C-alpha cells in the first residue's frame, strides 16, 4: 500500500552510541508504545484513518536536468561522492544512462580516473579527476505492439506496483528476482523495465537496489527529472527505510544501535562484507538501528531494522556480527549445529518493509510491502502477529 504523509519519519533526539536501548522517556513514546505489544485502541483508531492519496504540487515543479555531455568533459569528485563506486557515480551524475551503457563506457576504458582506466567497482576519492566521454541515451525503439513475452513482462511489473504516478513507481520486488544483471542472470528488474520505454525512448530507472533474495519496496524513477531528485535524496540520506527480518536468537538489549566499518572481502567463489577497522582499505562506516518486535520462545526473533547508511549487505552483515544472523541467509548465517524449526523454508527472511522519501514535486512517498509468501508462512507457523506495533519508528535517523 502507499500513502502520502506530511513529514518523514522523525528523529527522537540524539542517543548514545553502541547497542544501547533508545526507548526515551514516557513523554517521547507514542500511546501505543510497548515493545512486542499490540497498539492501544486509541492508536488503532488513529492508524485506521486513511490519508489522502499523493497529489503532486505543481507549483514546486523543477526544471529537467541538463542534457548529457556531447563532448569529453572532466569533473572532480565531491565530498558527497567520496567512496562511491564508479558505476554508481555515473548513475548519480547522469540518471538517464542505462546500466548496460554505463558498463560499456567503463569496459572500453573511455572513462578515466586521474588519467588511468577504472573498473566499474572501483571506489572514488574526493578530489579525484574523472574524464567522462560523450554520453547518449539509448536509441528509442520503434513503436508498436509488444510481443507476447513483452506483454507478460509488462503485466508482471504492473502486478508488483505499490505506488505509481507520472514520475515514480514503487515496486514490490519478489524474493529471488535480481534487480540488475550479472554472471548467469538473464531475468532481472532492469531488463524487465525495457518494456516500459516511452515515446522518447526513455525507460524507468533504478535509483537504489535490493539483494536478489530480499523482497519488498524498490523505488524506480520514470523520468530523468525524478531520477536526479531521488538519487539526491538517497545520497543525502533523506530516504527512510525500514526492514523486517527473522533472526536466530533474541538480541539483547531488545533495541539498539550497531555501528561498524564494513569492507568487501573477495573469495574464490563469493564476495562478502566483513567487519573492518577504521582506516582499512575500502572500509566504509555503517550504522543500523534494530528493535525486537516479537519473539518465538528464545530461539527466534522478529526484528525491525532501520539502516542509516546504505552499504552492501549491511543488515545481513550487522545481524551476523551481533550473533543474530538472519534466518536463511546463505552468506552470513554462521551458527553451528543450529536447526531450522520444522516447516520454515530455508530462504532469506528479509523484507524491505517500508520506504518514505521526498517526492520530486513536493510531499512524501510512503509505501509499505506485505510479507512475501515464505515469510508469511513462517509468521503463521510461529504465531507472530504482523499487525503489532513496530518500535523502530522511534529510532534516531543518525
Sign of the dihedral through C-alpha 370, 376, 379, 383: positive
Distance CA 354, CA 369 (A): 6
In the numeric block, the cell 567487519 is attached to 275
Comparing C-alpha atoms, which of 225, 145, 212 is closest to residue 181? 212
| 144-182 confidence digits (pLDDT tens) | 577 889 899 999 999 999 999 999 999 999 999 999 877
| 294-345 confidence digits (pLDDT tens) | 999 889 999 999 999 999 999 999 999 999 999 999 999 988 888 888 889 9
Looking at the predicted structure, is the pLDDT value of residue 362 above 90? yes
In the numeric block, the cell 508504545 is attached to 33
Q: Are 160 and 174 in contact (CB under 8 A)?
A: yes
Residue range 232-241: mean pLDDT, rounded: 91
CATH 3.10.290.10 segments of the chain = 73-132
Structure confidence at residue 286 as a pLDDT band (50, 70, 90) = very high
Sign of the dihedral through C-alpha 334, 336, 340, 341: negative
| 314-328 confidence digits (pLDDT tens) | 999 999 999 999 999
Residue range 13-35: mean pLDDT, rounded: 42
CATH topology of domain 73-132: 3.10.290
Q: Which CATH superfamily groups domain 1-51+59-66+147-398?
A: Pseudouridine synthase (3.30.2350.10)
- Between these two residues, 266 and 23, which has the higher pLDDT value? 266
Structure confidence at residue 9 as a pLDDT band (50, 70, 90) = very low
| 80-107 confidence digits (pLDDT tens) | 888 888 888 887 887 767 777 788 888 8
Q: Is 122 among the residues known to form the active site?
A: no
CATH 3.30.2350.10 segments of the chain = 1-51+59-66+147-398
User: Of the listed 87, 211, 329, 366, which one is catalytic?
Assistant: 211
- Predicted confidence at residue 8, as pLDDT, reads 44
In the numeric block, the cell 573511455 is attached to 110
Amino acid at each position: 500500500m502507499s500513502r502520502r504523509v506530511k513529514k518523514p519519519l522523525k528523529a527522537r533526539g540524539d542517543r548514545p552510541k553502541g547497542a544501547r536501548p533508545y526507548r526515551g522517556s514516557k513523554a517521547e513514546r507514542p500511546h501505543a508504545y510497548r515493545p512486542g505489544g499490540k497498539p492501544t485502541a486509541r492508536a488503532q483508531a488513529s492508524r485506521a484513518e486513511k490519508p489522502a492519496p499523493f497529489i503532486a504540487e505543481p507549483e514546486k515543479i523543477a526544471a529537467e536536468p541538463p542534457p548529457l555531455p556531447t563532448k569529453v568533459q572532466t569533473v572532480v569528485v565531491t565530498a558527497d561522492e567520496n567512496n562511491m563506486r564508479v558505476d554508481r557515480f555515473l548513475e548519480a551524475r547522469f540518471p538517464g544512462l542505462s546500466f548496460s551503457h554505463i558498463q560499456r563506457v567503463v569496459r572500453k576504458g573511455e572513462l578515466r580516473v586521474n588519467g588511468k582506466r577504472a573498473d566499474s567497482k572501483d571506489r572514488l576519492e574526493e578530489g579525484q579527476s574523472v574524464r567522462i566521454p560523450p554520453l547518449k541515451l539509448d536509441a528509442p525503439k520503434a513503436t508498436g505492439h509488444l510481443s507476447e513475452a513483452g506483454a507478460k513482462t509488462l503485466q508482471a511489473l504492473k502486478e508488483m506496483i505499490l505506488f505509481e504516478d507520472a514520475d515514480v513507481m514503487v515496486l514490490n520486488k519478489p524474493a529471488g528476482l535480481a534487480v540488475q544483471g550479472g554472471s548467469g542472470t538473464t531475468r532481472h528488474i532492469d531488463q524487465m523495465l525495457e518494456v516500459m520505454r516511452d515515446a522518447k525512448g526513455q525507460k524507468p530507472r533504478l535509483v537504489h537496489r535490493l539483494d536478489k533474495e530480499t523482497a519488498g519496496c524498490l523505488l524506480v524513477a520514470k523520468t530523468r527529472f525524478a531520477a536526479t531528485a531521488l538519487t539526491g535524496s538517497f545520497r543525502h540520506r533523506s530516504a527512510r527505510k525500514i526492514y523486517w527480518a527473522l533472526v536466530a536468537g533474541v538480541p539483547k538489549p531488545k533495541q539498539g544501535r550497531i555501528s561498524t566499518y564494513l569492507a568487501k572481502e573477495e573469495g574464490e567463489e563469493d564476495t562478502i562484507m566483513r567487519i573492518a577497522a577504521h582506516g582499512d582499505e575500502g572500509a566504509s562506516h555503517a550504522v543500523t538501528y534494530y528493535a525486537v518486535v516479537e519473539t518465538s520462545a528464545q530461539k527466534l526473533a522478529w526484528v525491525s531494522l532501520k539502516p542509516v547508511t546504505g552499504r552492501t549487505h549491511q543488515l545481513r552483515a550487522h545481524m551476523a556480527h551481533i550473533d543474530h544472523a538472519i534466518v536463511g541467509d546463505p552468506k552470513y548465517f554462521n551458527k553451528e549445529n543450529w536447526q531450522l524449526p520444522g516447516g520454515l523454508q530455508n530462504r532469506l527472511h528479509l523484507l524491505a518493509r517500508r520506504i518514505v522519501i521526498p517526492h520530486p514535486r513536493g510531499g512524501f512517498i510512503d509505501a509499505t510491502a506485505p510479507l512475501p509468501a515464505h515469510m508469511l508462512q513462517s509468521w503463521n507457523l510461529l504465531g507472530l502477529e504482523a499487525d503489532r506495533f513496530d518500535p523502530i519508528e522511534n529510532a534516531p535517523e543518525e
